[in-house]
Amino acid sequence: MTGAATLRRDPAVALTVAVLWLVLALFVAFPMATLLARIFFDKGAFSADGFLAVLTDRHQIRAFWNSMLLGVLVGVGGTLLGFMFAFTAARARLSRGLLTVVDAAVLLPLVSPPFTTAIAIIFSFGPRGLITYELLGLKGVTAYGLTSTLFSEILTFFPIAYLTLRPLLAGIDSNIEGMAQSLGASRWRVFRTVTLPLCVPGLANAFLLLFAASLADFATPLILAGNQFPVLPTQAFLQITGLFDLRGGAALSLVLLVPAMAVFLLQRYWVSRRFYVTVTGKGAGQAPHDSVSPRARAALLAACAFVAVAIIYFYALLLYASLVVALGANHTFTLAHYRVIFTEGLRVIGDTLIIAAFAMPLGGLYGVLLGYLVTRKSFPGRRTMEMTSMVNYALPGTIVGIAYLIAFNEPPIELAGTALLIIACYVFRYGPTGIRATIALLQQIDRSLEEASLGLGAGSGTTFRRVTLPLILPAFFAGLGVVFIRSMTAISATIFLVSVSWTLITVKILENITELSLGPAAAYSVLVVVIVFVVIALIGLALRAFRAPGSTRVTSLLGG
Amino acid sequence: MIPARLKRAFARTFAACTFAVTSFAAHAQGTVNVYSIWPENWARPMFEEFTRATGIKVNFVRFSSGEALARVTAEKGNPRIDVLFGGPVETFAAGIAEGLFEPYKSPSFDKLPARMKHADGQWIAIADDPLVFMTNEKFLKENNLKAPASWDDLLAPAYKNMLQMADARTSGTAVTRIFSIIEVNGRNEDKAFAYMKKLRPNVQIFTKSGGGGTLPVGLGQAGGGIFFIVDALDTKAKGYDVAISFPKEGIGTSAEAIALIKGAKNPDLGRKLIDWATSPAMQNQFAKHKINFVPAHPDVALEPSLAAVLKGANIFPIDADFAGKNRKRVVDRWIAEILNP
């Protein structure tokens, strides 16, 4: 049956496809086209001057290479750290309790507002830092620059590597390692020649994800990079909000588009096709082979414990800062900061929760619908639809935010200042995680299941409801979770979209940090972490209730 | 195929969402919309007093001056706010060049001295805010320094990489600072930039907002910096051990202004806010809320402890016209020569 024929025969599919194309055109294609037009058209005539001016400005070139350098270093460092954690979790035979602690510590940076580690680093490693000065007595240390930005971004983003590598390592049957060892290879040789090569695609994948995350992050460099180490996302932000140069800022963002797209395509079409599957034909119930020597196990445990303690220390500091009058000056216990956020800040919290509550179901639904259609139905432009849906997801948030700001401020489509615009931004930027999860799930499920149902006399509606829907529910919940978490913690795109009527907690935190109000900033951050943990737990419970074959843990999808 | 029931549910959810979103957007009606350049902890009590006095609600977001100006400029074709509140006068001068404001003379207009108002009423001052040097006492003691009493004191090697001040791309504080330096150098711009170049190695970081460096200085992460007196006294009031001093050559002060936005959707409510803010009705409340601005209205008395700090200080006003005309050029030069040498 050809694609066009499907649409004619199945008006429901045709209608859904048309609606999806309409929203994709409105919220993905239109803003991007407006952005490009703004950069390349000056008073109606084509002109690349503004763009070239940015490309040839030596400060911006320096910022570009700084961004690349930072991205590569974060990619390498984060992948190594993530691999270490994943390897420890998969091979070092941790007890259940210990595993939970590691998981929670690793999740913390992923679910908190992006600059929380940045503040903790300033407190700990500045010229009068708790660690550098009070503990080690060092003088003249600076908390700003490449080192601290790198450190903070690695700690913030390595969980992405951990979450993508852990299932991979768990999937490699340790009996293969056992066989190699019984053939006479040492443990180290087995690791080097068997385990590591099997992980290469996963490592490359993690590297690319981390590189992209670093490229999109403007909040950490805004606080930590200082003036010696300018990076592009921050420069683009300052160009627009500081020098009110929308064209220049848009052009700067466009420069980011090239590496971002390259990384995305590499990750999607090269790395993802090179995953190996290990099949041994042995039952899974067998005792796993012991691939780690006791000494290596101790070393791994110590290293992971060190990092986990560091993370917990940073968040404990944050909690402490939210509970004292003024960190560093007056350490009297107070609940005043929480009083502030629950009185003055109540509207912001309400705004954020309302926006997240609307974005969550819409994003989840969008992900499942689009993912289902592009995998199970054939219609013209199927591949194009999938690619288009990935655009807002692959691009750094700064670009998306700027594009939305330019496209929707004036008629014909005037949405600036409304909650709808922020919700749309979240749905189309983070909904694609749900699309990917749906596609991945459906690829594991044989069509014959659905065909059997049809053959036994059920209508296509009943088949979808009774067979397909339960199978893709985990993807739906994963989509919900990701959209919710990002709605609570993202800032790079939405900072351009807040208004007098609608503002977000993350924007408020950034404002408080740049002012003198550290206490409220810390209190808001703690609140966000708590809300997100509660919601993740609820989604986890829902997932367990709908436990279906092939369901993925919701957390393992957060990294994407 | 999508079952009809799911489809209907989807359509219904979507319709409900759009309805809810649009009705939420309408909750701003009947209030005056404001971008405040004053930080929230000062703007909020003022707006609450205003609501108490007039019954008019204030819907506001806080942006630093550069961000606020960028927003208002970007929204010129379709203004989203009625009043731009607070922020140094040179920001407003730059806004006049963009044609952002609607001239309005409030009842207090005639009482104010010439430098506290734009001749045509494009903006009116609500407060005056001198710059100060603020240093960390512990840092001074450790380095055997006295609180800096001259611009040249800041060049001392002990301050290497230990000063924090605002970034001229986003902060009005920074622009007032740069024009102060130009002024004390007899408006010889080259001399002023030569000084800033010498100062550069001592600057640890240029912060996004004017008060951004106060906390690091309070904590001793930085040794000192140049801030507006409100921010400096606020740091001290929070309990941080800092010294406040003035250079003998003099330092600039900048009026803090308010203006009506051209094309505002609620111009009458906006005018009421301006009437109130430029009168003693608001400025008499500064002391009560521990806001250390110098009142702009001559009928409002200076709070005694603030007067004590300012006693003997050499403070001069920044020429708003000169600053407004040269702002863009000077900031561009600052970016090229000082920020990214």
Please write the tens of the pLDDT for every residue from A207-231: 888 888 888 888 888 878 777 788 8
Distances (CA, A) of B22 to A166, A558, B80, B113: 44, 31, 16, 46
A13 CB within 8 Å of a chain B CB: yes
Verdict on whether the full-model pTM lies above 0.90:
no
Amino acid, res. A538: L
Confidence of residue A5 (pLDDT cuts 50, 70, 90): low
The answer, yes or no, to whether residue A516 has pLDDT greater than 70, is: no
CB-CB: which of A10, A238, A419 is closest to B170? A238
Range of weakest confidence among A25-34, A63-72, A188-197, A293-302: A188-197
From CA B271, how far away is CA B281, in angstroms rounded? 15
Q: Are A113 and A509 in contact (CB under 8 A)?
A: yes
Q: Are B162 and B199 in contact (CB under 8 A)?
A: no
Q: Are B97 and B264 in contact (CB under 8 A)?
A: no
Mean residue pLDDT across chain A: 80
pLDDT of residue A357: 92
Range of weakest confidence among A65-69, A386-390, B98-102: A386-390
Considering chain A, tell me which residue range(s) the CATH 1.10.3720.10 domain(s) occupy. Answer: 1-41+338-560, 50-277+297-318
Chain pair A-B, CB pairs under 8 angstroms: 191
All residues at 6 or more sequence positions from A175 whose CB lies less than 8 Å from its CB, including other chains? A280, A282, A286, A288, A289
- Ranges of each domain in chain B: 25-128+254-305, 130-253+314-339
Question: Could you read off the pLDDT of A74-103 as tens digits, one per residue?
Answer: 999 999 999 999 888 887 777 777 777 777
Q: Are A422 and A506 in contact (CB under 8 A)?
A: no
Class of B130-253+314-339 per CATH? alpha beta
Q: Higher pLDDT residue, B34 or A14? A: B34
Tokens of A186: 């040492």
From CA A130, how far away is CA B233, in angstroms rounded? 25
pLDDT of residue A388: 86
The answer, yes or no, to whether residue A362 has pLDDT greater than 50, is: yes
Residue B292 phi/psi, 5° resolution? -90, 40
The answer, yes or no, to whether residue A399 has pLDDT greater than 60, is: yes
**Quick one: average pLDDT of A8-16?**
76
Distance of CA B18 to the CA centre of its chain: 37
The residue whose two tokens read 């170049």 is B197
The residue whose two tokens read 């970016």 is B335
Q: Are A172 and A195 in contact (CB under 8 A)?
A: yes
Q: Higher pLDDT residue, A273 or B61? A: B61
User: Which candidate, A556, A541, A421, places its Cα nearest to that of A482?
Assistant: A556
From CA A390, how far away is CA A375, in angstroms rounded? 15
CB-CB: which of A246, A418, A464 is closest to B21? A418
Q: Which residues of A224-248 are buried (b: 16+ CB within 10 A; e: fewer)?
A: bbbbebbbbbbbbbbbbbbbbbbbb
Indicate if B130-253+314-339 has the same CATH topology as B25-128+254-305.
yes
Interface of A with B in 19-58 (CB under 8 A): none
From CA B314, how far away is CA A102, in angstroms rounded? 59
pLDDT of residue A3: 58
For residue B52, how many other CB atoms are within 10 A of its CB?
A: 8
Total residue length of chain A: 560
The answer, yes or no, to whether residue A9 has pLDDT greater than 70, is: no
The residue whose two tokens read 């409340």 is B285
Distance of CA A311 to the CA centre of its chain: 18
- CB-based contact B231 A516, cutoff 8 Å: yes
Q: Three-state SS for B136?
A: strand
Residue of chain B minimizing CA distance to A331: B239
- CB-based contact B170 A242, cutoff 8 Å: yes
pLDDT of residue A193: 80
pLDDT of residue A318: 87
CATH topology for A50-277+297-318 is MetI-like fold (1.10.3720)
| Residues forming beta bridges with residue A46, ordered by sequence position | A41
Provide the H-helix boundaries in B151-266. Answer: 172-184, 189-199, 214-219, 229-237
pLDDT of residue A551: 42
| DSSP track, A417-459 | TSHHHHHHHHHHHHHHHHHHHHHHHHHHS-HHHHHHHHHTT--
From CA B137, how far away is CA B235, in angstroms rounded? 13
pLDDT of residue A267: 72
List CB contacts (< 8 A) between A243 and chain B: 66, 70, 169, 331
Q: Are A102 and A308 in contact (CB under 8 A)?
A: yes
- Rounded average pLDDT per 10-residue block, chain B, 341 residues: 48 48 45 90 91 91 80 82 90 86 94 90 93 94 93 93 88 90 93 95 86 85 91 88 94 93 93 94 90 91 87 86 84 88 67
List CB contacts (< 8 A) between B218 and chain A: 326, 328-329, 516
Q: How far apart are the first and last CA of chain A?
A: 34
The residue whose two tokens read 């830092």 is A129
Q: Three-state SS for B174?
A: helix
From CA A409, how far away is CA B80, in angstroms rounded? 10
Residue of chain A minimizing CA distance to B24: A419
Residue of chain A minimizing CA distance to B214: A516
From CA A534, how far away is CA A528, in angstroms rounded? 10
Percentage of chain A lying above the pLDDT 90 cut = 11
From CA B56, how far away is CA B264, in angstroms rounded? 16
Q: Which CATH number fits domain B25-128+254-305: 3.40.190.10, 3.90.1150.10, 1.10.238.10, 1.10.645.10?
A: 3.40.190.10
pLDDT of residue A281: 46
Question: Could you read off the pLDDT of A116-135 as tens digits, one per residue?
Answer: 777 788 778 877 777 777 67
CATH number assigned to the domain covering A1-41+338-560: 1.10.3720.10
Interface of A with B in 87-126 (CB under 8 A): 122-123, 126
ipTM of the complex in this document? 0.71
pLDDT of residue A69: 93
